[in-house]
Amino acid sequence: MPRFKLTIEYDGAPYAGWQRQVSQPSVQQAIETALFQFTRDKTTIFGAGRTDTGVHAMGQVAHVDLDARWTAPDVGKALNACLRMAGEPVAILDVTAVADEFDARFSAIGRHYRYLIVNRDEQLTFKRNLAWWVARELDADAMHQAAQHLVGHHDFTTFRSAHCQSKSPVKTLDELRVIRNGDRIEVHASARSFLHNQIRSLVGSLRKVGDGSWSRVDLKYALDARDRTACGPVAPPHGLYLVRVDYPDGNQAGTRPK
């Protein structure tokens, strides 16, 4: 059966995450339902990452095996039509035929996320489910400087969910940048893979640096403590976006962070 790679964009607000749930809506279920509507076959799609409840994606990747009668353009058009008719806030940005060995999760060599904070006095209206509103003034430069303590190969136990299923808390964080543009503060994080809730935990702790509650030394202490109780409050999910997934030979899927 031909294998297809799907590049997917979605608003995570209505969903209990990417992974199929027994009694709650999920992105995976929405796409699999749309696949059934035009193929009449029950198929399973496999994602590059399991985004949590309320987390968004600009470049999630999944793979699926379908009957040989379907071409990549047919799959993209049919999926988008079915998702649109169902009112699902999910779009298939690209469909590509790939080798049988391709695996959306295990073939990935890089994942890129962006966390969006809106830092202003006024509450959010249009972006209330798309960004974290922080009224207290944040020093983005201090946040960026402190973030550099976290880049590299570390034990990230402090910034790991108690429910994380990863075998090891040790990860290599390739990039962690904090950028301000007006009242928008963006945190860009890149690594081969992440622990459960790692980015939201990092952002929540960086926020404490930004508002002056913590110093750079405090953040470094939290990392070195290797203790979940040393973590700052975890940032809410609705500010987090999976932006891009990288694959070998320069094969990328998603939107390059700006």
Domain that holds residue 77: 3-98
Structure tokens of 147? 């973030």
pLDDT bracket for residue 227 (50, 70, 90): very high
Kindly state whether residue 255 falls inside one of the protein's structural domains.
no
| Same domain? 143 vs 78 | no
Place of tokens 């969903």: 15
Among 98, 124, 139, residue at a domain's last position: 98
CA distance 7 to 251: 12
| Same domain? 180 vs 210 | yes
- 7-26 pLDDT, tens digit per residue, is 999 999 999 999 998 889 99
Q: What is the structure's pLDDT at 67? A: 87
- 112-135 pLDDT, tens digit per residue, is 999 999 999 999 999 889 999 999
Quick one: how far is CA 207 from the chain centroid? 19
Q: What are phi and psi of 88, to 5 degrees?
A: -85, 130
CATH code (residue 168): 3.30.70.660
Q: What is the structure's pLDDT at 77? A: 97
pLDDT bracket for residue 250 (50, 70, 90): low
Q: What is the structure's pLDDT at 1? A: 85
Beta bridge partners, 170, equal 155
Kindly state whether residue 183 falls inside one of the protein's structural domains.
yes
| Same domain? 117 vs 83 | no
Q: What is the structure's pLDDT at 163? A: 83
Tell me which residue of 244, 241, 237 sits closest to 192, measured CA to CA.
Answer: 244
Among 98, 129, 144, residue at a domain's last position: 98
| Same domain? 224 vs 128 | yes
| Same domain? 169 vs 231 | yes
Model confidence, pTM: 0.93
Known catalytic residues? 52
Kindly state whether residue 258 falls inside one of the protein's structural domains.
no
CA distance 173 to 203: 14
Residue 213: CB atoms within 10 A of its CB come to: 12
For the chain, how many structural domains are there in total? 2
| Same domain? 40 vs 119 | no
| Same domain? 94 vs 40 | yes
When pLDDT is averaged across residues 219-241 and rounded to a whole number, the result is: 96
